[in-house]
Amino acid sequence: MKISRTKFVIVFLVSAFVFQFISNSVLGNEVRLFPVNGDFFPGTASPIGWKSTLAKILYPIKIVLIGPVTLLFKNPDPDPAPPVFVIAFAFYWTAMALFLHYLFNKIFARKTV
């Protein structure tokens, strides 16, 4: 792979935050990066047909992107400081991006030899 590790992580982080913002804005009741009420998977129980269908399509992606970190924010504080969410997800997504970069480098290095 011809992309540097730093650039890959930055593109991954920006893409993940944009995906989170757009999916929550379209499926949720308000336009936000993270919902206030703690509903990290909005639209799954929506009576509107297209929202419910889109939520079911995006659900596996959201499980991988935000699932493990949402367990940290279940009950302790219903309204933590906003940077806590951003920092926690950034650390998780950075680790995921580094693992994916390593994996892609192994896969593509094997095919080019």
Contact criterion met (CB below 8 Å) for 65 and 39: no
CA–CA separation, 68 and 22 (whole Å): 20
Q: How would residue 84 be classed by pLDDT, with cut points 50, 70 and 90?
A: confident
Q: How would residue 102 be classed by pLDDT, with cut points 50, 70 and 90?
A: very high
Answer whether residue 81 shows pLDDT above 80. Answer: no
Q: What global pTM score does this model have?
A: 0.76
CA–CA separation, 90 and 95 (whole Å): 9
Among 53-57, 64-68, 83-87, 109-113, name the one with the lowest average pLDDT: 109-113
CA–CA separation, 50 and 58 (whole Å): 12
Across 1-5, 6-10, 60-64, the highest mean pLDDT is recorded for: 6-10
According to the model, what pLDDT value does residue 8 have?
A: 93
Mean pLDDT for the stretch of residues 81-91: 80
Instruction: Give residue for tokens 């009950």.
Output: 75
